[in-house]
Structure 1
Amino acid sequence: MPRLHPAHRRSLATCCVALSAIGFLGCSPAPEPGPTPTPAFASEEEAFAAAEETYRALTAALNRIDTRDPGTFEPLYALSSGDFEEADREAYSKMHAEGYVIAGETVIISFEGRTFDSTHLTVVADVCLDVSQVTVVDAQGISQVSPDRPARYALLVTFVSEGDRMLTDSAEVNEDGECAS
């Protein structure tokens, strides 16, 4: 099920930590050079592939959610961060508390990397989702899906790198985007 209300895109802040040492008088050997850090992704294509892998895993986790069992939410949260994760935690906790049941599967129609920022290790991608088979009913069996809900959503999704993996950080409905058949 797509995010029906877009999560706010959070800006990626970079923290710099300055280490200083007090030198001792006298001679001391020069420090040995440390290992040169390797970039998380060797190319834009590698970053796009990692982001797509993350989003496919996130969608698979989404399709396995059982709102009656909060333990099934954790794999979804493990693939997200920031406001996106926070919005999911709030939404699925509420669904669980109110007895909502989700059925059907969200299907990724397309995933296309748009930009890769190698300095901040972020990827932005265009994603097209088919949610036509997804239903959400409350405890009384009443549909919670708007009759105006489109069958497909064009999304603009942002990913951030955390170590050697990507996390879904935000998703917004892309009003200008199209979902090809």
Structure 2
Amino acid sequence: MADRMRQIASAAFAAVVAVLLATGCAPEPASTPSPTGFASEEEAFAAAEATYRAYVDAVNARREDPASEPDPTWFLTGRALEVDLDGDRRLAEMGLRIEGPSRVKSISFSDASDTQAEVLVCLDSTASRVVNEAGEDKTPSDRASVVGLEIKVIWAIPSALIVESTTSGSQC
């Protein structure tokens, strides 16, 4: 039974780290990409990087103060929003939460078009931990402290949104 709980906690934590835990709200319909008119791939990358960094900042602020704004889910749509809400629900069902900040260790350009950009992120969760309702550390001992993520950002009106976040096979 303890092994099963550990597997469930580890799986839930991995899903949450892939998208960073944010507090839940009802999912909105997926946004429709719109052309950006960016003059270059560099401009598209800068916008995707700014969106992802703002999302991480919102997640970290929400972990410190549940009423903080912006709500991290405001940066998500589609599959990224669904996975985030599901991860949050699963942790709550198990009586777990994530404490402490994550930080972007690095972000690099992968690909861009006039409607989306893909970036590779190394997310450092060294300072975060999974705790139960009693405040006991339940962080899986085999958790990687730095995770590689592939992030897809779409250009939607009125702002860019993260539509997909998956773990990457690349080393950070």
Q: Does structure 2 retain, via aligned residues, the 8 Å contact 1:67–1:100?
A: no
Task: Flag structure 2 segments of 5+ consecutive residues without an equivalent.
Answer: 1-12, 20-29
Task: Flag structure 1 segments of 5+ consecutive residues without an equivalent.
Answer: 16-36
Question: TM-score if structure 2 supplies the norm length?
Answer: 0.73
Residues 1:82 and 2:78 aligned together? yes
Q: Summarize the Cα distance change of 1:102–1:88 in structure 2 as closer, same or farther, 3 Å threshold.
A: same
Residues 1:108 and 2:101 aligned together? no
* RMSD over aligned Cα atoms: 3.0
Deviation string 1:96-138 (CA, Å, 9 cap, x unpaired) is 56553432211111111110022xx111111111111101101
Residues 1:42 and 2:39 aligned together? yes
**Identity in percent:** 26
Q: C-alpha distance in 2, partners of 1:40/1:62?
A: 29
Q: C-alpha distance in 2, partners of 1:81/1:38?
A: 17
**Which stretches of structure 1, 4 residues or more, deviate above 6 A after TM superposition?**
12-15
Q: C-alpha distance in 2, partners of 1:172/1:125?
A: 11
Q: Does structure 2 retain, via aligned residues, the 8 Å contact 1:68–1:96?
A: no
Query: Which of the two has higher C-alpha Rg?
Result: 1
Q: C-alpha distance in 2, partners of 1:141/1:125?
A: 35
**Matched AA of 2:109:** G
Match of 1:168 among 162, 166, 169: 162
Question: TM-score if structure 1 supplies the norm length?
Answer: 0.69
**Matched AA of 1:63:** N
More deviation in 134-143 or 56-65? 134-143
Q: Summarize the Cα distance change of 1:48–1:99 in structure 2 as closer, same or farther, 3 Å threshold.
A: same
Match of 2:56 among 50, 56, 59: 59
Q: Does structure 1 retain, via aligned residues, the 8 Å contact 2:36–2:155?
A: no
Task: Report how many residues are paired.
Answer: 148
Q: Does structure 1 retain, via aligned residues, the 8 Å contact 2:116–2:155?
A: yes
Aligned-residue offset at 1:56: 0.4
Q: Summarize the Cα distance change of 1:38–1:98 in structure 2 as closer, same or farther, 3 Å threshold.
A: closer
Partner of 1:178: 171
- The 3-state SS of whatever aligns with 2:71 is helix
Residues 1:143 and 2:137 aligned together? yes
Q: Does structure 2 retain, via aligned residues, the 8 Å contact 1:40–1:163?
A: no
